[in-house]
Structure 1
Amino acid sequence: MSLALDELLGLPGLEEMTVRAGARNLQRRVRWPYVAENEGIAEWVMGGELVFVTGINHPRGEANLLSLVEDGDAVGIAGMVILTGGTFIQHIPAAVVERAEQLGLPLIEQPYALKMVVVTHLIGTALVQMGQVRRSRDDILGQLLTGDYPSLAIARQRAAHLQLALDEPRRVVALRLSAVDGLFERHRPEQAERLWQNTRQALEEQLEAWCRTVAGAVMAQLPGDLFVLLLPDAPDLRPALAALYRQLAEVTGEMALFMGLSCLAEDCAHYRQALGEARQALEVAQNMRPATGLCDFSELGVLRLLQGIADRSLIDNFVAQTLGPLIEAGRKHPYALVHTLDVLLKENGNGAQAAQRLGVHRNTIIQRIQRIEQLSGQSLDDSLFRMNASVALLIWRMSESQGKE
């Protein structure tokens, strides 16, 4: 279990600790404190530690401190605390602060007057307490999401005790990293494992930091490396999730991340169904690879049937045959006819309404309809063509091709 650096620095009794660099990464999770006794730390840490540098057992000049910062960043420590004053390290050299800031490594100054035993006791106690709370939260959330609880009344009581407001309407988001197999195929097992664990840790840190900025957001991690978000419904939820996806994409490295969004669950009694919907949407996202990384269960429709097609090339060929002739690569707006067809179908073939929606003259719509029928060899009056086009457009809207316009 872990706590974010900014949470630890907010503990009563640690007010004298000062952030000197890397403030943008204070959401990093601290798994445990580690006091550096040797010249270097690379061989003695695994990632996620808050490393304390005292200078008591080894001289800590500028060169050594710079080396520690480099090593710490390379192995993925949460942050570094340097004790200053007294006999050993008088101050943190400017070059060390500058390098830590460049790397984004949180660098914290602790005066020697603030006793190490007090600091480590406060941090250790907070980590243990938070660990207990996190285990309880994940336990009750896991029970509600899977439906595996002895009593819904008791589950609600436990949730209330843990200050989880779960009887409000929520939507469930299921997130999972993809292309893990390729990671282990490209790298040696030990290197792949480290990349995998570091990516998962970074993803967890980013999700928890994001949830702290969204009122009512709750995160849980289920077996099978599935991250779950419980979010209040809001008009801007989709744009917010799209922005989250872009943010998370910066830490996923060689892997990809996809998300599935459920319909609205009125209360915690419906979480199991909502998770099932989110997981189905996640599977579609992994297969269709939408540009936003997100699929909404409420919008899947026929895509749920297409999930049964094992050969993705069949789907791609269907879209290419249906919409490909309408993509005019040599024109300024190569997708104009595709967009026009999409709007026409949404307006049930009403040219006047389609023109108004697209902001063009009705004569332009008439010309485009003629062009669509000429290039496709089909008539918009043909119900089979309209059905095929609707399905192809649904797939196309979710595909990466939209991001390449």
Structure 2
Amino acid sequence: MMFDGRDEEEILGLMRSSLPSFAPCRLEAVYLRSGDELTPRLPEGGTEPDLDAGVGALGPTGGALKAGDDGWLWAFPMNSKKVIEGYLVVRGDREPSPEDRFLLQVLSQQTAAALASVSLHERERENVLALSRFNEELTESVRRLERQRAVHEVLNRISVSGAGVTGIAHAVHELTNLPVAIEDPFGHLMVWTGEGELPKPGERRYSRLKERAVVHGRPLHEDGWVLSVVRPRTEVLGMLMLVDPGQVAGEHELFVVEYATTVLALELAHRRSLAEVELRVRRDLMDDLIAGTDDESAYARAAVVGHDLHGRHHVVIVRWRHRRGVEAIAHAAERVLGGWQRQILKSRHAGALVLLVDGEVDGPALYEGMATLLGSRTGAIGVGGRCAAPADIPRSHAEALQALNIRLESASPDGATTFDQLGVYRILSTAENREEVESFVREWLGKLLDYDRKRGSELVLTLFQYLECGGNYDQAAAALMIHRSTLRYRLARIRSIAALDLADVDTRLNLHVAARAWQVLRGKDTEIGEP
């Protein structure tokens, strides 16, 4: 009876009902293996933890379990082809006879075999279903190939004829008899085959439809539109759309859109490749300019890519910690500099963006503009000195890199530093002598720095502004926004704490150099009024 097509639950029920006829025992529990775990299937109310632990510790032959004060408790293994499928646990008032125990073992093995048979039939049914699904998919693939032949000739002819995006749009219109629109990745209309203007729905609804099309991955037919994303790999290059207010587009129209999307992806990818070639030419030029090349060759090569190297230029190096990478950083820099009517050449070096900008560059303003566009202030900019000719570009690049490194190694690594702002520090600061510069600052300002740190005072800043103002009390007090008498008091404290003679020329010079180096190390501007 166990092998006449019953399911697992019916087999277990049959075993449970027939158990008393085999031996004077009753069913305590049934454990079945699921993967590496033993799971109790009977009784429905669950089992005790002690029983679960005891069964879990059994070997392949089963055995006696702790029965407490309630008679005899034994677990019979449920074997199927030498594999333990589970255990049949029975309880009796006394230990059954050897003959009864033999019958219980047979019942256990018979139940295991029936359950294994059910599992085998289920796998066979799954295989049949899988084969059926495969046949359906194969049939659908054949139908798609047949449909492809119907439109292949038209779209392939357009693809090789050089008709471009416009030719593809008109071919789709011819094959579907529906208006066709093609947009670029930013939503700007490239081609429209219908009359009048493209009838867009509300902006929010239109954006939602395009977002759904991107997620869908296949042509999306919804709300009177068929939308297909042009995405040869992972980057979206555009959108192909049918305007279908009558909801007449069917399988044929969807296939035309899908195949046309593939052809359009090749066309737009080709356009992108040409643009990348031009960009690579620009990068190669920029790399050679940084390495150093003759002026005549530089002027000629720059003219090929539409950049006039005559006139003043500056090298700008940008490092920004941003999740969207260097492309987003470059786009932000181009937008800011483009708003200033600046022409640029760009390249990448060691993960940084390197720009050659015509005209003057306001480093702090460039930083603020990029921070706004990127939504992040975790970036640093170094601006090199002025280039009067291409031969000056390697020097400006080295200066921009030095300014950037000083900014990154300072106490305020985010912001912009111009080489011209570094003053005497641009002579002192290199990667090799940074420790010497810091030691020099500590030698002349160490006592004042320690005092400021402990007391929360501003004696070093006061000394810096006093020296920047050439010892003029009124200007220094105004820059610090304190009273003249307060300035005199602070200077007296400086003389007392540091044991320094501010009237000594050599002492003033060393203090001024140390104070300027201190300002640069902490990432601050050195101009009066902006400590």
TM-score by length of 2: 0.48
Q: 1:346 aligns with which of 461, 468, 471?
A: 468
1:169 and 1:267 in contact (8 A); partners too? yes
Aligned counterpart, 1:243: 368
CA–CA separation in structure 2 for the residues paired with 1:237 and 1:292: 16
Q: What are the within-5 Å matches in structure 2 for residues 267-282 of structure 1?
A: 267-282=389-404
CA–CA separation in structure 2 for the residues paired with 1:265 and 1:315: 32
CA–CA separation in structure 2 for the residues paired with 1:259 and 1:246: 11
CA–CA separation in structure 1 for the residues paired with 2:440 and 2:333: 33
Name the aligned partner's letter for residue 302 of structure 1: Y
Q: 2:315 aligns with which of 169, 172, 175?
A: 172
Aligned counterpart, 1:284: 406
Name the aligned partner's letter for residue 147 of structure 1: G
1:170 and 1:266 in contact (8 A); partners too? yes
Identity %: 21
CA–CA separation in structure 1 for the residues paired with 2:234 and 2:264: 22
Aligned counterpart, 2:31: none
Q: Residue 323 and residue 242 in structure 1: after superposition, are their counterparts in 2 closer, same or farther (change >3 A)?
A: farther
Q: Residue 387 and residue 6 in structure 1: after superposition, are their counterparts in 2 closer, same or farther (change >3 A)?
A: farther
Name the aligned partner's letter for residue 215 of structure 1: Q
Name the aligned partner's letter for residue 316 of structure 2: V
Q: What are the within-5 Å matches in structure 2 for residues 259-270 of structure 1?
A: 259-270=381-392
Q: Is 1:230 aligned to residue 388 of structure 2? A: no
2:185 and 2:236 in contact (8 A); partners too? no
Q: How many residues align?
A: 314
CA–CA separation in structure 2 for the residues paired with 1:402 and 1:306: 15
Shift of 1:278: 1.5
Q: Residue 363 and residue 162 in structure 1: after superposition, are their counterparts in 2 closer, same or farther (change >3 A)?
A: same
CA–CA separation in structure 2 for the residues paired with 1:88 and 1:398: 69
1:351 and 1:362 in contact (8 A); partners too? yes
Aligned counterpart, 2:304: 161
Deviation string for 1:51-88 (max 9, x for gaps)? x65237xxx89xxx9xxx9xx9xx99568858464399
Aligned counterpart, 1:186: none
CA–CA separation in structure 2 for the residues paired with 1:81 and 1:402: 48
Name the aligned partner's letter for residue 173 of structure 1: V
TM-score by length of 1: 0.60
Deviation string for 1:254-281 (max 9, x for gaps)? xx64332111112333212211222222
CA–CA separation in structure 1 for the residues paired with 2:265 and 2:185: 14
Aligned counterpart, 1:309: 433
Name the aligned partner's letter for residue 308 of structure 2: A
Shift of 1:125: 4.2
1:173 and 1:261 in contact (8 A); partners too? yes
Q: 1:13 aligns with which of 166, 169, 191?
A: 191
Residue ranges of structure 1 left out of the alignment (5+ in a row):
22-34, 41-51, 91-111, 179-194
CA–CA separation in structure 2 for the residues paired with 1:203 and 1:78: 19
Name the aligned partner's letter for residue 220 of structure 2: G
CA–CA separation in structure 2 for the residues paired with 1:224 and 1:338: 37
Q: What are the within-5 Å matches in structure 2 for residues 110-149 of structure 1?
A: 116=261, 120=265, 123-148=268-293
Q: 1:294 aligns with which of 416, 427, 431?
A: 416
1:219 and 1:227 in contact (8 A); partners too? no
Secondary structure of the equivalent of 1:258?
A: strand
Q: Residue 306 and residue 211 in structure 1: after superposition, are their counterparts in 2 closer, same or farther (change >3 A)?
A: closer
Residue ranges of structure 2 left out of the alignment (5+ in a row):
1-182, 205-212, 249-256, 526-530
Q: Residue 401 and residue 166 in structure 1: after superposition, are their counterparts in 2 closer, same or farther (change >3 A)?
A: closer
Secondary structure of the equivalent of 1:327?
A: helix
CA–CA separation in structure 2 for the residues paired with 1:305 and 1:7: 49
1:53 and 1:80 in contact (8 A); partners too? no
CA–CA separation in structure 1 for the residues paired with 2:369 and 2:444: 29
Pick 1 or 2: higher relative contact order, CA cutoff 8 A, min separation 6: 1
